[in-house]
Structure 1
Amino acid sequence: MSRLFIVSIVSMISLVALSGSLQAKPELREVAHVRNGIITVGIAYEISQKCGSISPRYIRGLNFLEGLKGHARNLGYTNREIDDYINDSNEKNRLEALGRSMMADMGIVEGEEATYCAVGRAEIEAGSGIGRLLR
């Protein structure tokens, strides 16, 4: 093969890779895996705080959150972008509202410990994302 041909191929590959990295990323709040993961952790934490017989699995929860950060980094988000997303008070309020709506759909009634415990036990039994963060 000629040297010019090899240089052309390498240049084309570089341009394709560069064009992919220049494409606009969606806002981190639009990345479903990250958003839903944060809500899952929030629901598990809320259940563990409102039901005296259920405890959080702290290490598993921290590992899960680190996994979400790693996923975001793999998608090209910087640590600063991730931190800005995590610390955004409007986004915290939005995620909390989504989580509370989901908890209500699951049968949790604010202020009624028995409902938190029943849902928590059901999630643990089902081995769901929420249940794996509880014991």
Structure 2
Amino acid sequence: MKTTRNRMAAALAATLALTAMPAAALEPLSQERYINDRLIAARIADRIRRECPSIDARMIYAWSQARALKKYARGKGYSDAQIEAFLDSRPDKDRIYGVAEDYMARNGVTKGDAESYCRLGRDEIAGKTVTGSLLSAK
């Protein structure tokens, strides 16, 4: 009886040892795709609303989406300090802005041409993209 208990205890301990994996390290926020994609979309929407006189931002909705994105990051295990450091990081801002500018250029936006921003904005709204959801045609 004692031997059976010892074997069961040993088997249980072995099973627990094999299944007890250390918590996975979080990838850097700069590599978290969902978060970065939404920040890029927000940057594109911001550029469109600033350059196109016939499109506005849905500011309350954008603000609520920003809060939801922060909640998402916390839910993934990122601390407030990590989130703030990422959002304040000049290299990360520059990277996000660069991706946004590249996207706009690939989609026909020309600096100084308000209508090219308006056209992209209308396309984003019509396509019901993340960017489009942050915009409203006047």
**Do they superpose with TM above 0.5?**
yes
Q: Distance in 1 between matches of 2:100 and 2:124?
A: 15
Decide which structure has the larger Cα Rg and report it.
2
Aligned length: 126
Report the counterpart of residue 58 of structure 2 in structure 1.
Answer: 57
Report the counterpart of residue 48 of structure 1 in structure 2.
Answer: 49
Structure 2 unmatched runs, 5+: none
Report the counterpart of residue 105 of structure 1 in structure 2.
Answer: 106
Give matches, 1:46-85, under 5 Å.
46-85=47-86
- Give the TM-score normalised by the residue count of structure 2: 0.83
Report the counterpart of residue 122 of structure 1 in structure 2.
Answer: 123
Identical positions, percent: 26
Divergent runs of 4+, >6 A: none
- Give the TM-score normalised by the residue count of structure 1: 0.85
Tell me if 1:93 matches 2:94. Answer: yes
Q: Distance in 2 between matches of 1:88 and 1:108?
A: 27
SS in 2 for 1:25: coil
SS in 1 for 2:84: helix
Give matches, 1:8-19, under 5 Å.
12=16, 16=20, 19=22
1:17-68: per-residue Cα shift (whole Å, max 9, x none)?
A: x72x3x2211110000001100000100110000001000001111111121
Give the structure with the higher percent strand: 2
1:64-108: per-residue Cα shift (whole Å, max 9, x none)?
A: 111211111111100000000000011111111111001111111
Q: CA deviation at 1:12?
A: 3.5
